Amino acid sequence: RKEVEQDPGPFNVPEGATVAFNCTYSNSASQSFFWYRQDCRKEPKLLMSVYSSGNEDGRFTAQLNRASQYISLLIRDSKLSDSATYLCAANTGGFKTIFGAGTRLFVKA
């Protein structure tokens, strides 16, 4: 089983839609979680950190479910510019952060 697992997608949604991604992690000792956004042929950029039950930043909401060992990312009112690959990551302490392979999102007009 992969340490951090994501549905690769792609998710194809119309502008204005709400879309949610899930990410499961296998190590119950994981404490810190992150969502990154990666555009084609670019570097990952931090979208949100998820330290406790969850947090919200504008149209983006991240939630953590420790009992079921998953984190989710909800994007409301999708924009064309939201099209990207979304990576989740989990850290168990120390310097080793494990990344998922990413979920691709296409937002269409």
- Which chain residues interact with other proteins by CB under 8 A? 2, 4, 8, 31-32, 34, 41-46, 49, 51, 87, 91-102
Nearest to 74 by CA among 89, 52, 58: 58
Q: In terms of CB distance, is 58 or 95 closer to other proteins? A: 95
Rounded distance between C-alpha atoms, residue 29 and residue 98, angstroms: 13
**Residue 92 — left, alpha, or beta (φ > 0 → left; ψ -120 to 50 → alpha)?**
alpha
Q: How far is the CB of 14 from other proteins (least distance, A)?
A: 25
**Distant-in-sequence, close-in-space partners of 67: CB < 8 Å, separation ≥ 6:** none
Q: In terms of CB distance, is 44 or 78 closer to other proteins? A: 44
Q: In terms of CB distance, is 78 or 102 closer to other proteins? A: 102
Q: How far is the CB of 55 from other proteins (least distance, A)?
A: 13
